[in-house]
Chains A and B, each alone.
Chain A
Amino acid sequence: MTKASDYQQWASKIRASDQKAFHDLFVDSYQPLMRYALNFVKDTDVAKDILQDVYAHLWDIRDRLDEEKSLKALLYRMVKNRSINLIRSRRPVRLDDVAPAEQPSEEMSPVSIRPGGDDLLEKQLSEWIESLPPRQREAFELSRFEGLDHHEIADVMECAPRTVNNHIVSALNTLRVQLKQWKSERENRE
């Protein structure tokens, strides 16, 4: 995982119109941001367009980059805002737009042939995470999956770092309770 300091070094070079630093940042951050965008839009081509917009805009505003602020958080925030805007501007959504994206969750195929304890736990956890309150889930996922620190998450979610802390602690507490229940149910069965 790329270090936060790399991002800040890129930021100051990009500020000075350094094309190479821009390229390095692009190549390094592209796939994580792509995956993040796909959380919102579910369509690779749409996500590609969003990312093109984000990087082009970043280059446009390079002279206004604030070196004190996290560039990584800025990228995530731009991807999030553009994705949400796009979703909002497309409403009402045509049904045939949505159908393919929802299929995977409806299928719910058995995850593996031999559901060993760990695989099962992973699957359970994914479901529990999905049913967390939206803000808690967002904070947790940005921390766990995107590797953002609390200040960066606060930037993306536009709230105070303390609030991020609270969200993640609450999320973990909810998950712990579910984990405990799940474990005792399994033990009773055995």
Chain B
Amino acid sequence: MKRPDQDIMKYFSGVEEDEVRLIWEKARRKDQSGESAMDVNPEEEWALLQKRMQTARRPVRGVRPGTIRSRRPASKATAAKTYAFITVMAAVLLGGFVMWYLFVPVSMEAPRGEFTTFHWDDGIRVELNSGSRLTWNRSFGNGHRNLRLEGEAYFEVPPSGKSFIVETQTAMVEVLGTRFNIRSWADDPDGRTTLTLVDGSVRLASLLEPESHIMLQPGHTSHVDYHNRAPVEPQPVNTDQALAWRNQGFYFSGITMSEVAAELERRYDSQVVIQNEILRDRSLTIYLPRPGELDSIIETICFVTNCRFEEEQGTIILY
């Protein structure tokens, strides 16, 4: 930027203004690292990115809905040909529509500040935490079973059902009859997906390294993220705590205050800003089975972390 922002200049007048202009003009980056940035060719990096994105895209499964054939009378008359042509066109259009209907993704979401529960006919039950979204194809019931989750959800799957796959930003979870929780928030800086199994069995695989996968035992948790591309060693976990959100509770287990703030923002559909840098990176472990109003949670958290807060036009500021 050639000169300071207008908002800034209005704080200075006369000589001060000239000094600020001089400072602005003469300010230089100190380190020479900036120079090496210029040695990198963006186009080369673009080619690498394309390659990476190609390999990341997994092959489409060979699933197709019942092929639609048109019944065409083998007539020699021109009129009949025209008629046949129309039939074919209609079939193609109908086929196209069916394809579109089956493959255009459907999604269900829990808006910020709300929870959503959903049942499928085959007994699969899903509960979504605030600010989460689950996407699937309408052909879900007929064999093509791929769900995509952004956020956090609890699944109950009757044992008789066929297996299906839940995909998140970093993980692939293959499901048999079971009850489990997946947590995978888009704003998590590590893109972490945490899987907690209540009972039954699930397979957790990394999206980035699909060959690394583990079977999880009931009462255990594991996760994958950008740093842990293979699922980490499963740890025993208190499932009541891990599933506290289903009863509007919170269980923060050693996560940073900025993640805590993001979670509170989603649940209460409000703004929680942390102004203190050190506080933002501080980790917090706390179990609040019945938290009540946002104010009281903030009070508890501030008591534990020894911070202060104020409310300003509906925004909560921690410092």
Contact = CB atoms under 8 A, between A and B. Distances in A.
Interface of A: 1, 23, 26-27, 30-32, 34-35, 38-39, 42, 44, 47-48, 51-53, 55-57, 59-61, 64, 81-82, 85, 89, 104-105, 118, 121-122, 125-127, 129-130, 134-135, 140-141, 143-145, 147, 149-150, 158-160, 163, 165, 168-169, 172, 175-176, 179-180
B277 A26 contact: no
B7 interface: yes
Given A42-B33, A44-B39, A125-B28, A172 B8 contact: yes
A134 B33 contact: no
Given A60-B169, A104-B32, A160-B273, A52 B45 contact: yes
Given A129-B27, A130-B30, 14 more contacts: A30-B42, A47-B37, A51-B45, A52-B49, A64-B150, A85-B189, A85-B190, A89-B227, A104-B31, A105-B31, A122-B26, A134-B277, A172-B11, A172-B20
A129 B30 contact: yes
Contacts of B11: 169, 172
A150 B7 contact: yes
B12 interface: yes
A121 B192 CA distance: 46
Interface residues of B, number: 50
Q: For A129, A160, A172, which residue has the most chain B Cβ atoms within 10 angstroms?
A: A172
B233 interface: no
- Top 7 nearest A-B pairs (CB, nearest first) are A30-B42, A126-B30, A34-B37, A38-B33, A35-B37, A81-B189, A147-B1
A150 B1 CA distance: 12
A34 B40 CA distance: 8
7 contacts: A31-B40, A44-B39, A52-B48, A52-B49, A125-B28, A144-B27, A159-B275
B59 interface: no
Interface string B1-28: 1001101100110001001101110111
